[in-house]
Amino acid sequence: MTIPTAPTTRTTTAGRTAVAETTVHARVTARRAPLVRAAIAVAAAWGRGTDAAARGAREVGATVAPAGWLVIVAVTAGLAAGLAFGWVEAIVAALSALVLLILSVPFLFGARGYDVALHVAHDRVVAGTSVDAELRVRNAARTTALPGRVDLPIGDGLVEVAVPLLRPGQRLSRTVSIPALRRGVIPVGPAVTIRTDPVGLVRREREWDEMHELYVHPRTVAVPATSAGLVRDLEGSASRRLVDSDISFHAIREYVPGDARRQIHWKSTAKTGQLMVRQFEESLRSRLAVVLSLAERDYFWGDPRSEQTADGEFELAVSVAASLSVQAVREGRDLDVVSGAEIPRVAQGRMRAIRSLSAPTPRTLLDGFSQVSALERTMPLEDVCRLVVETMPDLSLAFIVCGSTVSVERLRRAALAFPIDTAVVAVVCDERAHPRRRPTGALTVLTVGVLDDLAGLLARGAQT
């Protein structure tokens, strides 16, 4: 036979490059050709056989349950002992186990004949509420399907739905109630159909592709829209900064070189005999920032020996931050929701990082709050506030939401990171404290024990 090799190049005297193809001729003698072909055929057959054996072993391992392997061992040992020593009891026990194993095989038939569909009533719920999921099973085979089971994973749990005997084309619908859930993103599915015999010797499973993600939003409370200086602040209000063009008129002054000619006030110019121009106060549009601390050390996690929810204080902080943010989005504020980001252990102390939540709509914002969690390695709250000011310098109002282990001194240091014209409100979440409002200089500290305290404290601040 002829074996071509890679082409080689050579250069001619005229400077052109010509390609010369080299061919190696190899011959197999007629005497050894059948041996070579036989060896190749045997190697190919061996490879196919080993692959088939491996697939068969995997199928058998996935089909036979531990109880089934015990029965197989009993059959083998019973027959061997009965034939070797003439024990009739051992032979009878082995034959009985063999009959039991044979009777379990028909339950595997039709394992792939089911058609399973999953429908979740709502893909977004509030923490503490339940939701229903509908599981639909249809026998798509041409034969009757023996009873089986459908397992539906829900987060870390599992719901088992028994499927009775189904005739060809028969449908079954079951409503699965998903109980009150904690905040987070809960995967629902994929459903797994399981066919097994009553004893549990053999089983066959099939996993379906359909899967749902259930967003469990934090609880929120309506924040009063009349909370002056807190949420509805400075919208269109004039500041003390004077500019040449805006809405709020301030005064008339003399013209200086560089002023725009369109700002000349001609009536005053005619009265005084010299050019006079208008001057305005700059109108501010409020930009609000909600800074949520995610550091584990900033929260009290409860006594492990008590029945109190360990992360209740942190969940309260998430609900407070979500309530303030949703209210700002609904009122059309420019909003930045910021928290500390997780820092790798090797970069701790040398890396600064913050995380921002997207806030185009309340639904998108709450989806982001569903995914936040407390972090062991993140920046201190004071450093988070400093980095927020560096990236968002034009803030008019800032909320700092944290736990009860953050001292007032730390809150003051965090508030000093913001400009002097930025109103700073700290919301301390403490389930063991009574609601109160404490003004400490330029910083206002609100302490909430339950989520419903937030609206009352903000309304009280608006009245004062």
At residue 346, what is the residue type? V
- What is the SS3 string spanning 242-258? EECCCCEEEEEEECCCC
- Residue 448 pairs in a beta bridge with 429
Which distant-in-sequence residues (6+ apart) come within 8 Å of 368 by Cβ?
337, 357, 358, 359
Confidence (pLDDT) at 463: 52
Q: Please state the φ and ψ torsions of residue 61, each to the nearest 5 degrees.
A: -65, -35
* Cα 236 to Cα 228: distance, rounded to the nearest angstrom: 13
Q: How confident is the model at residue 26, as a pLDDT?
A: 45
Residue 6, pLDDT score: 46
Strands 192-196 and 171-178: unpaired
DSSP 166: B
Taken in order of first residue, the domains within the chain and their CATH numbers are 40-108 (no CATH), 114-217 (2.60.40.10), 238-284 (no CATH), 287-463 (3.40.50.410)
Tell me how many helices (H) and strands (E) the chain has.
9, 24
Query: What SS3 string covers 111-165?
Result: CCCEEEEEEECCCEEECCCCEEEEEEEEECCCCCECCEEEEEEECCEEEEEEECC
Distance in angstroms (rounded) separating the CA atoms of residues 39 and 17: 44
Question: How many angstroms separate the CA atoms of 326 and 362, rounded?
Answer: 5
Distances (CA, A) of 57 to 22, 46, 50, 206, 367: 49, 16, 10, 18, 45
Our measurement of the distance from residue 461's CA atom to the centroid of its chain's CA atoms, rounded to an integer in Å, reads 36
Longest dimension (CA), the chain: 135
Under 8 Å between Cβ of 235 and 396: no
Are 145 and 112 contacting, i.e. CB atoms less than 8 angstroms apart?
no
Q: Is 189 exposed, middle or buried (0-12, 13-18, 19+ CB in 10 A)?
A: buried
- What does the pLDDT profile of the chain (464 residues) look like in tens digits? 444 444 444 444 344 444 444 444 444 455 557 777 888 888 888 888 888 888 877 777 777 888 888 888 888 888 888 888 888 888 888 888 888 888 888 877 766 778 899 999 889 999 988 899 999 999 888 888 878 888 999 988 888 888 888 888 899 999 988 887 889 999 998 998 888 888 888 888 888 888 899 999 999 998 876 344 454 444 444 444 444 544 455 678 888 887 877 788 888 888 888 888 887 655 555 688 999 999 999 999 876 444 444 568 999 999 999 999 999 888 888 889 999 998 888 777 778 888 999 888 899 999 999 999 999 989 999 999 999 999 887 888 899 999 999 999 999 999 999 988 888 999 999 998 899 998 888 899 999 999 999 988 888 755 55
Whether 283 and 238 have beta carbons less than 8 Å apart is answered as yes
DSSP 228: B
Tokens standing for 80?
């061997």
At 19 the pLDDT is 42
Cβ(382)–Cβ(350) below 8 Å = no
Does residue 341 contact residue 355 with C-beta atoms inside 8 Å?
yes
N- to C-terminal Cα distance for the chain?
100
Judged by DSSP in three states, 258 sits in coil
Angle at 167 between CA 165 and CA 168, to 5 degrees: 140
Rounded CA-CA distance 92/97 in Å is 9
The SS3 assignment for 307 reads coil
Residue 442: name the closest of 422, 457, 428 by CA. Answer: 422
**Paired tokens of 316:** 């309260």
For residue 135, the cross-strand partners are 118, 174
CA distance 34 to 201: 49
Would you call 251 helix, strand, or coil by DSSP?
strand
Whether the Cβ atoms of residue 176 and residue 209 lie closer than 8 Å to each other: no
Tokens of 319: 């609900």
